[in-house]
């Protein structure tokens, strides 16, 4: 298990952007009217994983910490730009 974690850590500059694209695509491909629990769970899991990878790369002073931090920022902005379904229980309704 330690070898697997070390390998993921070494290649996190490839893993983090890949997770970002996967999470954002799964979030935006779902129709707005559908119950998108899978895409929300995927997005949240990707955010947790990239947050851990970013923290690890910063603490270990690895060369690719900036790629991980930018990936986390893109993920946060991408999630914030997705508006919820219009309805009486949402913040965006008038």
Domain count along the chain: 1
d(CA 28, CA 94): 23
Give residue 40's domain range.
Answer: 18-81
- pLDDT of the residue at 92: 53
Residue 60, C-beta contacts closer than 8 angstroms, at least 6 positions apart: 9
CA atoms within 13 A on the CB side of 40: 9
- pLDDT of the residue at 83: 63
Q: Can you say whether residue 35 is alpha, beta or left, with left for phi > 0 and alpha for psi between -120 and 50 degrees?
A: beta
Determine, yes or no, domain membership for 46: yes
Comparing 3 with 90, the larger pLDDT belongs to 3
d(CA 73, CA 55): 13
Provide the terminal-to-terminal Cα distance of the chain, rounded to the nearest Å: 51
Per-residue pLDDT tens digits for 14-54: 888 998 999 888 888 877 667 778 888 888 999 999 999 89
Determine, yes or no, domain membership for 10: no
């Amino acid at each position: 298990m330690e070898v697997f974690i070390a390998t993921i850590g070494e290649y996190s500059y490839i893993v983090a952007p890949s997770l970002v694209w996967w999470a954002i695509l799964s979030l935006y491909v779902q129709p707005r009217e559908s119950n998108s629990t899978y895409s929300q769970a995927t997005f949240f899991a990707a955010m947790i994983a990239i947050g851990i990878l970013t923290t690890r790369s910063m603490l270990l002073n690895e060369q690719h910490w900036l790629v991980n931090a930018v990936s986390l920022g893109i993920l946060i902005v991408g999630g914030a730009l997705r508006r919820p379904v219009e309805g009486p229980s949402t913040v965006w309704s008038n």
